[in-house]
Chain A
Amino acid sequence: MQRPALRQRLTAVLLLAPLLAFMLSFFVAPLVTMMKSAVSDPVATEALPRTAAALAGWDRANVPPAPAQSAFAADIRALRNDEQFGDLVRRLNSTQSGFRSLLGKTRRALDGTGAVDLAAIDPRWSETSWWATIADAVASPWTDKNLLAAVDLERNTAGNIAAMPEGASANRLIMIRTFVTAALVTLACILIGLPYAMVAASVEGWRRQILLGAVLLPLWTSLLVRTAAWYIVLQDNGLINAALKGLGLTSTPIPLMFNRLGVIIAMTHVLLPFMVLPIFSVLIAIPRNLMPAAASLGAHPLRAFLHVLLPLSMRGVVSGALLVFMAALGYYITPALIGGANDQMISSVIAYYATAAANWGMAGALGLVLLAMTILLYAVYIRLTAAEERSA
């Protein structure tokens, strides 16, 4: 009995190995790379190894001693690669502006061999603040700067975590906006999806087929096609505005696109099936004679609805709401195409940092925040559905 079971296990492992290897290489590894880029800061440590060793015991009260200064000079001289030098300049300049000119001047002056007097090259080298920035940068290849910046925090000169000055960063605002938009879309999906699923569950035959087909067909249609359709319908001279004008309800077009309203309409359309289907599957499992039973015991239809049907459908509503909210949080395409500049959600900001600004640290940090929120919601969803399966 032992040997066949072992053999079956081995077969299962062999069957799973290709996908496991694939997922580790191309799903887990990219996510780890992204997380690492959020907290890693290797530029200065790699470019200035001697300085890092020499400044490790520096007291920060006075200018570093001569050996540390010549270690720094040796590091700068060893930087033959212009790209690496450029990275170093950008890294240090982002903490303290002025490093661009200081390092450029210093590198030109060090072009050659011989003794070094950094203070003679530039008087700034006799100030401790410049050395302190270098010491901070080479102290560790890791940083919490990006993660803090993702929630509008920073480290002040004393090294404590503090709020960023007003207007310096808008990440918290964008996160609140993302949450509010996702919550509004979820609410809209509940308000439309719950009664619709109830209607679909209350009829049978071809009527039910039509009601479900109307939900499934958009789900099957390309997301781009649906977004394009809303783009055309919602535009200033689109169908809705033409209809409103034709009915004499408005003379000037109502702006339905490039604003929050358009984003919510289009996202509700895209995510509505994920609300209707879980609620529907819960509802059809409810015994059909429950409502007549409530009525026969004298309950008013409204009361029977509130006390019997609604509580029973809540399970479906909760799973649907979690699915919709989770998907809405990370949404990119629809807000990017239908939304205006003030409706961009966290995904757009991540895409901006990654593609336009090439700031991988910030892209990674915001990505990490979004990933953490999504996984948390997914864990809740898994727990709920697992509990349901056990109780069912």
Chain B
Amino acid sequence: MTPLPILKLVFAALVILFLLGPLIAVLPLSLTDSVFLNYPIPGYSTRWFRELVTADSWRLSIVNSLLIGAGTTTLATLLGTLAALGLRGRRASLVFSTLRTVFLLPMVVPAVVLGVGMQLMFSRYGLTNTYLGVIIAHTVVAVPFVLVNVSSALQGVDVRLEQAAASLGAAPATVLFAVTLPIALPGIISGALFAFATSLDEVVLTLFVAGPNQRTLARQMFATIRENISPAIVSAAAVFIVGTIVLSLAMLAVRRRLA
């Protein structure tokens, strides 16, 4: 039996290297002072981070991502939370479970297919090349994450608490705002964070729907990799990775605090 644990250890280490290696390996390159993305790094500087905030194309795309992300988060959280409340406790009903499946479909439908349809339809209503159009497109793919998160949080709400509040004379709206929503808050917050992350990372729909003025950070990174790769992309990636870690820690903290 002795060779097996060693084999296990080696295999697990190799897979972890495959999963995390590329992400960690490129990070130091964000501090290079050359224009090439090669090791060894000739010298260190923060010029590519400065490029992110000074170059118009990067600055505009960061601002756009934050604007569109905020719009998407608001819209998706609102629509998704309402729908999750409506679907609550109705898994047995065929109509409601079909609705739920339809609401989750945007996670499955290939983005390119949806993008083609959105471009065709949005151009008829003047929504292409507008911020509203991009926010709507991102919301379609972000809503399922809100729905899943809020639904599972609502499942954890003890119905007896709500019954107790109602029996003490609380109106349905009071029960909702004083009991149900506060208990489900961690789920709503993590759904909102998922929605923001989805919007931040969305490229394909943005390619089809957005104009040059709505170029997002992800879209800008796509263009940079495709056209002329520069170390600025690694700086952007470093910002993304640090942002991811901060967001997940925030989420853990929220869960721990409210759980």
Contacts and interface: CB of A to CB of B under 8 A. Distances in A.
B108 to A, nearest CB: 5
B201 interface: yes
A229 B229 CA distance: 12
Contact of A37 (B120, B136, B222): B120
Interface of B: 1, 8, 11-12, 15-16, 18-23, 25-26, 29, 37-39, 78-80, 82-83, 85-88, 90, 96, 99, 101-103, 105-106, 108-122, 136-137, 139-140, 143, 172, 197, 200-201, 203-204, 207-208, 218, 221-222, 225-226, 229, 233-234, 236-237, 240-241, 244, 247-248
Given A30-B118, A347-B112, A224 B222 contact: yes
A66 interface: no
A27 B114 contact: yes
Nearest to A193: B15
A258 B201 CA distance: 23
Contacts of B244: 217, 220-222
A326 B82 contact: no
Given A215-B19, A330-B113, A228 B26 contact: yes
A211 B17 CA distance: 11
Interface stretch (A93-101, A137-145, A148-156, A331-339): A331-339
B203 A223 contact: yes
B201 A224 contact: yes
Chain A interface residue number, banded:
35 or more
Contacts of A350: 112-113, 116
Interface in A200-245: 200, 202, 210-211, 214-215, 217-218, 220-233, 235, 237-239, 242
B39 A242 contact: yes
A362 B114 CA distance: 15
B153 to A, nearest CB: 16
B237 A23 contact: no
A333 B222 contact: yes
B15 A214 contact: yes
Contacts of B225: 224, 227-228, 231, 337
Contacts of B18: 192, 269
A329 interface: yes
Contact of B11 (A11, A196, A329, A360): A196
8 contacts: A14-B86, A22-B79, A31-B117, A202-B8, A211-B12, A228-B237, A232-B29, A375-B108
Interface in A12-33: 12-16, 18-20, 22-23, 26-33
Nearest to A217: B20
A26 B86 contact: no
A355 interface: yes
Nearest to B217: A224
A361 B206 CA distance: 21
A293 interface: no
Nearest to A272: B19
Nearest to B119: A354
Contact of A229 (B26, B114, B139): B26
A16 B86 contact: yes
A22 B139 contact: yes
Contacts of A12: 86-88, 90, 96
Contact of B22 (A15, A226, A337): A226
B86 A13 contact: yes
Interface in A280-331: 301, 326, 329-331
Contacts of B19: 214-215, 217-218, 269, 272
B31 to A, nearest CB: 14
A26 B136 contact: yes
B11 A23 contact: no
Interface centre among A26, A226, A337 (most CB of B within 10 A): A26
A378 B102 CA distance: 12
Contacts of B1: 301
A278 interface: no
Which A-B residue pairs are the 5 nearest by beta carbons?
Answer: A330-B110, A15-B86, A30-B117, A34-B117, A16-B86
A363 B116 contact: yes
Contacts of B108: 326, 374-375, 378
Contacts of A351: 112, 115-116, 207
B42 to A, nearest CB: 14
Nearest to B137: A26
A226 to B, nearest CB: 7
Contact of A364 (B90, B109, B116, B233): B116
B76 to A, nearest CB: 10
Contacts of B96: 12, 16
